[in-house]
Amino acid sequence: MSDPAFFRRDAAVVARDLIGARLLVDGVGGVIVETEAYDPLDPASHSARGPSPRNAAMFGPVGRAYVYRSYGIHWCLNLVCGCEPGSAVLIRALEPTDGLAEMQARRGVAVLRDLCRGPGRLCQALGITGALDHHPLDVPPFALQTRGDAIAVLPGPRIGITRGVDTPWRFVMAGSRFVSRTIAARQA
DNA sequence: AGACTGATATTCT
DNA sequence: GAATATCAGTCTA
């Protein structure tokens, strides 16, 4: 459920609370195990320099998707949140649980661990494209179930950015084998 | 396991 | 023209 109260909080808080939530697109997806927070005061954020055609969703209502093209090739999914406009949480990795065969077909890969590990791979596995930019998270094809109970979450620095590298706004599920490769290496 | 490369949309200089 | 919230392939070890 995308209760506005859940998303109308600081991005770092929402990013931590999203770990363990179940995210499905047309019934295909899994449990969120890795996220990153971005807000308009953050030099690494797309919203740092104000609205543009690409990042418009970040300045719209909370509880919606912000989908953008990364390096001209991949799609990346964010969930718009925050008390003020311009915040979002990047979904970096899922533990696949639903629609495994469909994800394997879309990715052309059989190994579960490689289906949704990384923002670009995740979007390919769930069939997420720019068509879902601005789409409300409580309206099909999206389905989002957040957890009520507490869960062990580890914070750390974000990945693949050159600015704001010291802000510990990446969150991973403790002990999960389905997080990004670079993280798994650093954890070990 | 690590280093390098190519693909290439959007934004910034 | 250069950089980027990336990934898959290939080469070196």
**Model pLDDT for residues A76-127, shown as the tens digit of each residue:** 999 999 999 999 999 999 999 999 999 999 999 999 999 999 999 999 999 9
pTM: 0.95
Domains of chain A: 4-187 (3.10.300.10)
Q: Per residue in A98-117, is it b (16+ CB within 10 Å) or e — as a string?
A: bbeebbbebbeeeebebbbb
pLDDT of residue A180: 85
- A150: tokens are 């507490």
Distance CA A7, CA A87 (A): 10
- Prior bond to A53 cis, omega within 30? no
A44 touches strand C (CB under 7 A): yes
Q: Which residues from the 92-111 window of protein chain A have CB within 7 angstroms of nucleic acid chain C?
A: 107, 109
Distance CA A74, CA A67 (A): 10
A52 touches strand B (CB under 7 A): yes
A78 touches strand C (CB under 7 A): yes
Distance CA A1, CA A78 (A): 16
Q: Give, in Å, how far the C1' of C9 lies from the CA of A108.
A: 15
Task: List chain C nucleotides near protein: any atom < 7 Å from a Cβ.
Answer: 3-8
Q: Give, in Å, how far the C1' of B2 lies from the CA of A185.
A: 12
Q: How many CA atoms lie within 13 A of A113 on its CB side?
A: 7
Q: Give, in Å, how far the C1' of C3 lies from the CA of A24.
A: 33
A185 has pLDDT over 80: no
| Lowest mean pLDDT segment, chosen from A9-13, A103-107, A162-166 | A162-166
- From the list A63, A43, A69, A31, the residue with the least C-alpha distance to A164 is A43
Give the containing element (helix H, strand E) for A15.
Answer: helix A11-18
